[in-house]
Amino acid sequence: MDITKQHQEQQEAKRQQGKISSFIGKFQVGTLLNKSGIRKLRGVSPLTLFSAIFMLPFEGDNFYRGIVTNAGLPFKKNAAYDLLKIPRHNWQKFMLSLAVQVSNFFFLLTSKESEKVLIFDDSTYDRSRSKVVELLAWFFDHTSHTSLKGFKLLTLRWSDGSSSLPLYFVLCSSANAEKRIQRIKKDLDKRTCGYKRRVEAMTKSTEHLEGMVKRVLSLGVKADYILMDSWFCWPAILAKLGQHLPVICMAKNMPTVLYRYDDQWVTLGKLYKRIKKRPGKAQILAGVVVETKQEQKVKVVIVRYRHKRDWLAIFSARIDLEPKEIVRIYGKRWDIEVFFKMMKHHLNLEKEAQLRDYDGIIGHTTIAMARYIFLAVEKRCHDEPKTIGSLFPPCSEEIKDLSLIEALQRLLALALDKVRSSGEFAEDVVFAMIDAIMGAADLSMSIHAESL
C-alpha cells in the first residue's frame, strides 16, 4: 500500500512539473526574464533559479527547506537570494509582460459581448513579527480593526468574468515618515528599478492609480471598465481615471463629499432619503444621475442590503447603463477578494520567505503572482471548451457571463464579512437573511423582471 501511494505521489509530481514546464515554455518566461534585465551573471541561469522558487508551494516546501537547505539543487542559496535582491531586476516589467501575454490568450476564448474589466484593490502584507525589514511601516487593518506592521499591497487586476490576472502591483510603505519603522538601507543609483520602486513605495497609494492604468493600456490590455472599492471612490479620482475608461465603484456616505441633485448639493446619505425608491421586494431600489464637484455626471444605483435595514450605493461613470447592468458588471470585482485569499493562504505570499531586503520582497511577490497566473491558465484550459479545438462547436456553447443574481450574491458575500467582524448578529441569523434576500431576488426576477 505504501509503495502504491509513493508511486502515485511520484506520478503526480511529474505531472505538475510537466504542466509548469509547458507554461514556462508556452509563454516564453525565460525570454521575458531576459527582456526585464534579469540575466545570468554567473553560475546557473535565472530561469533555473526562477523555476526552483516557483515550484515551492506545489511541492509542499517553503524557501528554507526547498532552497536554503536543499543539497540536491544545482546552485547555492546565495544565487537564489541574488536573483530576488538585485535592484536592477525589473520584476514589475516581467510580471506585466507575462500577464499581457496570458490576457491576450484569454481574450481569444472570451465572448466579444463579455465585459473585460480592470480591478483596483489593496490588502495588507503582514510582517508583524519583523523589526528590521526595509521600509517596514505601521498600517491600520480595516478587517481586524487593529494596527499592524507590514506593507499595503496595491494591485491592479484584469478580469473577463471567467478568469482574472494580476497585472501590476505596488508594495506601499507609508507616505508618512513618522509611521515608517525602517528607512531605505541601500545606497542606490537613481536610474535603477530598485530606487524607483522605493520612491513609489513612499508615495500616497491613490497617486499610483492613473499611472498604473495608463501603463497597462499602453501595452495593449483590452478592458471596458475600471472597478474599485469605496476606499478609492473620490470625485477627483473618478474624474482622473474616467479620462481613460469608465469607472464603476462602490461608494460610502462621507460628510465632506457632496453631489448635486435637483440643484442642491447633498451627501450620499441625504440623497438616499430624497430619492424615490421602488416598492415591494425589489433588490435594486433606485437609480439616479448626480453631478460631482468636478462637473462629472455619474449614475448612483441603490441596492438593498441587510433585509431592508440598510443599503449599498454603486457609482457608474456610464450614465446610459441600466441599474441591473451596473450591478452585474460590478459583481466581477469579487475576483480580487478570491485572489488575495489564494495568494496568502495557498501560494505563500507572506510566510514563505522572511526577506528583509525590499528588492527581495518585490521579487518574491512577483513570483507568487506568477504562480497565480499559472493556476489561472490551468483552470481556464481545463474548464474552457474552446481549448478542445475542433470538438468545441458541436459539444458546447459560449461560457455565460456573470448574471445579475450572481452579482448580488457576491455583493452580499462581501457584506457578510463586515457583519461577522461587527458582531451585531449571530451568523445563522445572517445566513437566514441572505437566503431570504436571494429567494426574493429569484422570485422577483422570474415574476416581476420589469421591476429590476
Q: pLDDT tens, 380-406? A: 887 655 544 443 343 334 445 556 666
The predicted pLDDT at position 405 comes to 62
Handedness of CA 125, 130, 133, 135 (dihedral sign): positive
Angle at 379 between CA 377 and CA 381, to 5 degrees: 65
- The share of the chain scoring above pLDDT 90, in percent, equals 59
CA 185 – CA 173 distance, rounded (Å): 14
The predicted pLDDT at position 444 comes to 47
| Helix runs in 117-242, H state only | 193-201, 209-218, 235-241
What is the rounded average pLDDT for all residues in the chain? 85
User: Cell for 112?
Assistant: 466579444
Q: Quote the distance between the C-alpha of residue 213 and its chain's center.
A: 14
One-character DSSP codes across 355-388:
--SHHHHHHHHHHHHHHHHHHHHHHHHHH-GGGG
The predicted pLDDT at position 428 comes to 61
Give which of 177, 171, 181 is closest to 148, Cα–Cα: 181
Q: pLDDT tens, 237-255? A: 999 999 999 999 999 999 9
Q: With 50 as the cut, is the pLDDT of residue 354 above it?
A: yes
Q: Quote the distance between the C-alpha of residue 286 and its chain's center.
A: 29
Which residues fall within 8 angstroms of residue 326, CB to CB, at 6 or more apart?
248, 287, 299, 301, 314, 316, 318
* Total Cβ atoms within 10 A of residue 17: 14
CA 48 – CA 440 distance, rounded (Å): 55
Domain regions of the chain by residue span: 235-331+402-442
CA 362 – CA 68 distance, rounded (Å): 19
3-state secondary structure 25-71: HHCCHHHHHHHCCCCCCCCCCHHHHHHHHHCHHHHCCCHHHHHHCCC
CA 33 – CA 421 distance, rounded (Å): 42
Contact 301, 195 (CB under 8 A): no
Give which of 246, 247, 191, 245 is closest to 214, Cα–Cα: 245
Strands 225-228 and 247-251: what pairing?
parallel
What pairs with residue 251 in β-bridges?
A: 313
Q: Quote the distance between the C-alpha of residue 362 and its chain's center.
A: 16
Question: pTM of this prediction?
Answer: 0.82
Whole-Å CA distances, 114 to 104, 188, 328: 14, 45, 11
Q: With 60 as the cut, is the pLDDT of residue 322 above it?
A: yes
Contact 283, 304 (CB under 8 A): yes
Q: With 70 as the cut, is the pLDDT of residue 450 above it?
A: no
- The share of the chain scoring above pLDDT 70, in percent, equals 81
Mean pLDDT of 300-326: 88
Q: With 80 as the cut, is the pLDDT of residue 107 above it?
A: yes
Contact 236, 247 (CB under 8 A): no
Q: pLDDT tens, 24-78? A: 999 999 999 999 999 987 789 999 999 999 999 998 888 999 999 999 999 999 9
Which residues fall within 8 angstroms of residue 128, CB to CB, at 6 or more apart?
148, 149, 150
